[in-house]
Amino acid sequence: MKTLQEYITLAAQNHGHMCPGQVLGIRMAMFGLNALGFDDPVECRKRLLTFVEIDRCATDAVSLVTGCRLGKRSLKFRDYGKVAATFVDLETERAVRIVARDDSRERANSMFPALSDPYEAQLEAYRLMGDEELFTLQRVRVALGPADLPGRPRSHVSCESCGEGINDGRERRIDGRVLCRPCAGEGYCQEIRDA
């Protein structure tokens, strides 16, 4: 595994800047991998599945350290708004959920009272604080189905309303019809039709 400083340098290049969330994400991923016994993320890439719970800077850093990606289906996003990630060893089915402690911000700010900017204090402190000061670790079980696993699509159907393709059992069956989630009323956008 790379050093914290090596990951920080890579994360700043990858994300476009360095911030406390990036440091937390790096540390979170390193802690999670260590808890599962992985010394090198490259060696475990085919075995690792990661769930992230926030769409902020920490997620980019978790992806950088683990090598898990949405496009490879090894990174899963659950929009809970929490600085947390769950790391799953697909071979052993062992999993750990790492959560950033809410009190770590205050602790970070008190470590560097000379820094008037809390952002700068957190950036420095998150590099130095111990894992137990930054995170809680929970051993968890994650229920995974075949359609949740990395690899080629396990199924493919077409929506009977819009005709768009749907992979991996994400369709809805309503009144005997196969529908994509937007056509089933679960969409996040609406088409604007010119008058």
3-state percent helix, strand, coil for the chain, nearest multiple of 5: 35, 20, 45
In a domain, 129, yes or no: yes
Cα four-point dihedral sign 114, 117, 119, 120: negative
pLDDT confidence of residue 194: 84
Q: Are residues 42 and 65 in the same domain?
A: yes
What is the DSSP-derived secondary structure letter of residue 192? P
* Number of domains composing the chain: 2
pLDDT confidence of residue 115: 86
Domain holding 12: CATH number?
3.30.1330.130
In a domain, 195, yes or no: no
Give the residue numbers spanning the domain of 173: 152-186
Domain holding 180: CATH number?
3.30.60
pLDDT in tens, 141-171: 999 988 889 988 899 999 999 999 999 999 9
Report residue 184's pLDDT band, with 50, 70 and 90 as the boundaries: very high
In a domain, 191, yes or no: no
Q: Are residues 166 and 133 in the same domain?
A: no
Q: Are residues 139 and 157 in the same domain?
A: no
pLDDT confidence of residue 186: 95
Residue 36 · residue 28 · CB < 8 Å? no
Residue 116: exposure state from Cβ atoms within 10 A (0-12, 13-18, ≥19): exposed
Which carries the bigger pLDDT value, residue 19 or residue 45? 19
% the chain with pLDDT above 70: 99
pLDDT in tens, 131-140: 999 999 999 9
Residue 23 · residue 56 · CB < 8 Å? no
Provide the phi-psi class of 5: left if phi over 0, else alpha when psi is between -120 and 50, else beta.
alpha
pLDDT confidence of residue 28: 98
pLDDT confidence of residue 136: 98
Q: Are residues 20 and 88 in the same domain?
A: yes
Q: Which pTM was predicted?
A: 0.90
Q: Are residues 85 and 68 in the same domain?
A: yes
Residues 6+ apart with CB under 8 A from 70: 77
Q: Are residues 134 and 165 in the same domain?
A: no
CA–CA separation, 10 vs 190, rounded Å? 38
In a domain, 193, yes or no: no
Report residue 118's pLDDT band, with 50, 70 and 90 as the boundaries: confident
Give the bridge partners for 173, in sequence order.
178
pLDDT confidence of residue 190: 85
pLDDT confidence of residue 191: 84
